[in-house]
Structure 1
Amino acid sequence: MTITPAIATRALSKTYKDVRALDNVNLELLPNRMYGLLGRNGAGKTTLMSILTGQNFADSGEAEIFGHDPFEHDATLSRICFIRESQKYPDDFRAHQAFKAAALFFENWNEELAQDLIAAFNLPVKRRIKKLSRGQLSAVGVIIGMASRAEVTFFDEPYLGLDAVARQIFYDRLVEDFAEYPRTIVLSSHLIDEVANLLEHVIVIDQGRIVVDDDAEELRGSAVTVTGSAERVEEFINGYPVIHRDALGSLASVSIRARLSSSEREKARALGLELSPVSLQQLVVRSTLSRVDTLVPAGEQEARK
């Protein structure tokens, strides 16, 4: 049985003056899954989400939510919630008024969940939003994003203003509510190690292009760092795709894309090499850094070192 994607893009491109924000982006996101949209600042994450939520438009290509272009399509937009880090509200709004407005817009709004989260974040709902701290403002966005229970929900790093304890509350409650009320959730984050265990699928965007699009389980354990004598490291990694290299004198540390068998691990030990797993954050960072190296002329690479 074919599952219709909740989100789909085909050859999606967007340019701002001389910057290619999105470059031929092709994606399919299935319903009721938790996705991570990861990448560096300026990689194209917010531009992609803005187009998918009808707040921007592409120069070329197609973007669809449940089979429809979301731009000026009210029936589709009513099924989407998009929460940004820099979420804007009317100047005179108080927090409780923002929640009341959200309750009117989102048909799946759950007031019990909203009140529960207000208590968990200790949010002063009668205070004017412009008087809230950054953390309290982040809490307003997070509460709307979760309590909306929209079929497609985008979080564009609104939780960055929360402290570590409040972020953990967000992660725990999000997983708990998602398990009971599945929907398509896209988390954009720089805090990759913090969100890694939440994600079912990982998308990494770099310089407007998709460089990783894979199930999180497939990525976990898909790379390993080999450390030891440079000569023996090179002997061991021969033939494996290299995603990062470090060298110091006669020592080398090389990250490769590989799922090593027990016999391969035994071979590494026999050569006196140390093997260590590459975390999701390291994999994302090293994948994007290796891509930068391939795009920069060799002479300039040397100048950067």
Structure 2
Amino acid sequence: MRQLISHLRLCAVIAGTSILAACAPTQYLVKSPEPSTVTYQSGSGAAAGRVALVDNRKGTERNFFGGTLTSTLQSDGAPIEPTAFLRKHMQAEMKARGLPLTFVDAGTAGAEVAKLETFRVQNHRASGFGPFVTFTFAALDVPTPSGPKRVTAFVKRGKVPVWGFDEVIEPTLNQPLSLAVKELSAKWARDAYGAKAPDAAVSQLAASLSAKRDGDSYLTVYALGFTNNPAAIGHLLPLVKDADENVRLAAISSLGTLKATGQMKLLKDIYADRGVIWQDRAMAIKAIGDLGTDESRAFLGEELKRWEAAGNQNEATWTANIIRLYL
């Protein structure tokens, strides 16, 4: 009887693995991110910059796409090369924002250097009936007038494929990669150029969000964060408890992007609340990292020690990976 039970369990594992991989393609074709439509106002004295983007990823960080399902991400007819992908699409984003930054080849005389430390997409699927989830991580050390600064991005998205795996490409790959490009660019623009969108742009985004909601409304919430304008904070605060998970996560994340240091207690409370889903807590610790204060850095350091001691469970691994973007 025990042998029969063991055999049945083994069969269940094999069947589950087969279901998990069923219909999953060996490669995904990713769309090019569309640049933002809101132009920034730069701070006084912002000078044109020429920057070489250097790949400084090490070890497992060089695995661009991995996790439960192994596939290749393609763009423009070839596998994505992370540094070239970011260089191309961040250049387009900076140009659309009206910023005088140009990417040049490494070794170009007089060029400053930005170092790519992390850019990868981790996927996860617990079963063939659950959502396909992606975690998109990115970290750059960029030149600014006050020295190198770390800019980061983290996006979590999930989708249950009902009719086929093509359904997951837009929400779990196209949109997170586009958001990563926009978030890195916005933070770089803020730190290097003091750039932000005008108040009128903030009001327009907030009005559009109030007027109509749809499945992509969370992208407008992220866009409020990418304005780099503190006037957006008041529009975001009511959304951190929104019933729409994606809107809520975007609002929590955006408080960090806007360096809303006055919301540290709110973010710590969300992070400590075991009554909310992990995604809320994850975005809260990300936002705390984005605040960039002595208090937030000390908090991250203590939390990293705690999660590293917690073992290899998913929550511990995923949370520690977010914290490491900042430390």
TM normalised by structure 2 equals: 0.32
Structure having the higher Rg: 1
* Higher helix fraction (1 or 2): 2
**More contact order relative to length (CA 8 Å, sep ≥ 6):** 1
* Higher strand fraction (1 or 2): 1
TM normalised by structure 1 equals: 0.33
